[in-house]
Amino acid sequence: MIKTAFKGSAFTIYSVSAGLLLGLPIFVIFVSFFSWDSAIWQHLSSTVLPKYITNSLILAFGVGFGATLLGTYLAWLIVNFQFYGRRLVQWLVLLPLAMPAYIIAYTYTGLLDFAGPVQTFIRETLGASAQGYWFPEVRSLSGAIILMSLVLYPYVYILARTAFSEQSQKYREVSELAGVSPTNHFLKVALPLARPAIMTGAALTMMEALADFGTVEYFGVSTFTTGIYRTWFGMGDVNAASQLSGFLCLFVFALIMLEKISRRDSQNYSSRQGESAKAKPVTGIVATLILFLCCLPVTFGFIIPFAQLASWAISYSDLSSLADYPEYAFNSAMLAGIGAVVIVGMALLFSYAKRLQPSKTVSGFIQFVSLGYALPGTVIAIGVLVPLGWLDIKLNIFTNAWFEMQPGLVFSGTIFALIFAYAIRFMSVALNNTEAGIQRIKPSMDEASIVLGDSPLQRLKRIHIPLLKASLLSASLLVFVDILKELPATLVLRPFNFNTLAVKAFELASDERLIDAALPSITIVLVGILPVILLTKTLDGIEKRHA
């Protein structure tokens, strides 16, 4: 099979080689288990490991439940009811995607802490002392679950909305003829039909929760991601940190398997029969209630934190601390720009190799490199730094022996390490767009090019790239914004004295300088709105095709 794949073209060799390269960090992490230190693990298991496991599981399942609840009911209401403001709400409910979890954590901490405006108002209004009232603690595991659910529910909403919009009108008509109430129709017919899509969205939110670092670190919640960071930088034990990363990978892979099992019989839930269900017009109190329910998540997940960030940024008067803001913005844009070009270029070649040689080998390697999106940034950072650090050591030994010079950290101490980590983390985002675009190009175009004597490379340049401009642009935009928001991998792998907007916002918030963190935070959020607009147009197009 391997020989057959290699006979295809240079693109096949590229896909296999690049797949092996991008899979190297994961291989390195699991190889670390061969250097087991019983003393370290006895210490971890008797002190912090049980808390890491418990908190990580509670966080993942809590966020999965919360995001699924919000995303499913929003999708059902928006797809099935026509009410005043529905068109605007369809766009608004996606806005929390632009709000990274760590930024909403900073904002609500500033709002709800003892010295924040909410508790201050309560004390002034009630005349209560500090000990005279109870107020929930936002910096807690439950606080992290609630806030992360508010920004991650769009993952479930997008998939559930597509699933509900594809359901046939016939199912509703049969339920009405059988005297089934709308609630029972939702619970017994519509929900089971949409279950595979909803479970996929739930699995994505759980993986995002397991991958989160900024929120749990800021809230002081001990999870695997914070444990990996502390073991590495606190204990100085890269090997133990790698092994913790390996255990976290097992959790993530288990989630991926559960999600695949949930979709195993998805063909039995096919609902594309006849005309899609039409939205039912509602008015009066019912329409007002639906509008209120649809606006609740976006109000708490985007509007309130965005308004607070804007207020902090506008009212901030210490302009001297903003002198370095252009540098942070430039660093972020540079990383995101380089990363987008490299990742989308690699994704295009992957997708094209699959089109030229649709063998199991090529498809398998492409699926393998797509798994990086499910891995936490801290895990990828360790997997990248270990082999690149080894490579730097060998390079310095070689140059010192032959040229009596040491170039230093050429790979692990430069933005090369960051771009490598971003490629692993966000390759799936780019591949989803490039593969979808290439599939829309008719095979007859390739056949005509072959008849004209074009080589595969000429065919790519003359036919596929011009036809894929929209897909490549959308992929670049999504990757650009994802890199801009990425915190843990950037925090670990950045060169010395190199800050980005995300890292600086995290550092300022960690120093309790929340108002100082407002400008870099709101910059990230504003740029993050761009893919939300793109996604809204895409969803509208899908619904029109099924109408």
Within 10 Å of residue 299's Cβ, how many Cβ atoms?
15
Give residue-wise pLDDT tens across range 348-373.
888 888 888 777 777 777 777 777 77
What pLDDT, on the 0 to 100 scale, is given for residue 269?
Answer: 47
What pLDDT, on the 0 to 100 scale, is given for residue 128?
Answer: 65
What pLDDT, on the 0 to 100 scale, is given for residue 56?
Answer: 92
Q: How far apart are CA 318 and CA 511, in angstroms?
A: 16
Pair 71, 156: CB distance under 8 Å: yes
Residue 34 pLDDT more than 70?
yes
Q: How far apart are CA 266 and CA 277, in angstroms?
A: 20
Going by C-beta distance under 8 Å and a sequence separation of 6 or more, which residues neighbour residue 250?
A: none
Residue 47 pLDDT more than 80?
yes
**Closest C-alpha among 527, 522, 517 to residue 484:** 527
| C-alpha 489, offset from chain centre | 13
Give residue-wise pLDDT tens across range 428-449.
888 877 887 887 778 777 777 7
What pLDDT, on the 0 to 100 scale, is given for residue 333?
Answer: 92
Pair 500, 119: CB distance under 8 Å: no
Give residue-wise pLDDT tens across range 467-502.
888 788 888 888 898 899 898 889 888 888 888 999
- Pick 36 or 543 by higher pLDDT: 36
What pLDDT, on the 0 to 100 scale, is given for residue 422?
Answer: 94
Pair 92, 295: CB distance under 8 Å: yes
Q: How far apart are CA 384 and CA 378, in angstroms?
A: 10
For the chain, the average pLDDT equals 83
What pLDDT, on the 0 to 100 scale, is given for residue 4?
Answer: 37
- DSSP result, 305-333: HHHHHHHHHHH---GGGGTTHHHHHHHHH
Task: Give the pLDDT band (50/70/90) at residue 458.
Answer: confident
What pLDDT, on the 0 to 100 scale, is given for residue 298?
Answer: 95
What pLDDT, on the 0 to 100 scale, is given for residue 24?
Answer: 82
Pair 424, 380: CB distance under 8 Å: yes
What pLDDT, on the 0 to 100 scale, is given for residue 432?
Answer: 79
Lowest mean pLDDT among 2-11, 58-67, 438-447: 2-11
Tell me the two tokens of residue 97: 């995607």
Identify which of 24-28, 78-82, 182-186, 252-256 has the greatest average pLDDT: 78-82
User: Across residues 368-390, what is the average pLDDT?
Assistant: 83
What pLDDT, on the 0 to 100 scale, is given for residue 322?
Answer: 66
Q: Which residue has the tokens 């794949």?
A: 5
Tell me the two tokens of residue 492: 């670990």
Q: Which architecture, in CATH terms, is 12-28+325-498?
A: Orthogonal Bundle (1.10)
User: Across residues 327-356, what is the average pLDDT?
Assistant: 89
Half-sphere exposure of residue 380, counting CA atoms within 13 Å on the CB side? 33
Residue 60 pLDDT more than 90?
yes
Work out the percent of the chain whose per-residue pLDDT is above 90.
24
Pair 170, 274: CB distance under 8 Å: yes
Residue 207 pLDDT more than 70?
yes
User: Across residues 291-305, what is the average pLDDT?
Assistant: 94
Question: Cβ-count burial of 2 within 10 angstroms (0-12 exposed, 13-18 middle, 19+ buried)?
Answer: exposed
Pair 254, 271: CB distance under 8 Å: no
Q: How far apart are CA 70 and CA 152, in angstroms?
A: 9
pTM: 0.83
Going by C-beta distance under 8 Å and a sequence separation of 6 or more, which residues neighbour residue 69?
A: none
What pLDDT, on the 0 to 100 scale, is given for residue 271?
Answer: 47
Q: How far apart are CA 279 and CA 277, in angstroms?
A: 7
Within 10 Å of residue 107's Cβ, how many Cβ atoms?
26
Give residue-wise pLDDT tens across range 85-127.
888 898 899 999 889 999 999 999 988 888 778 888 887 777 7
Give residue-wise pLDDT tens across range 127-182.
766 566 677 888 999 999 999 999 999 989 988 888 888 777 777 767 777 777 77
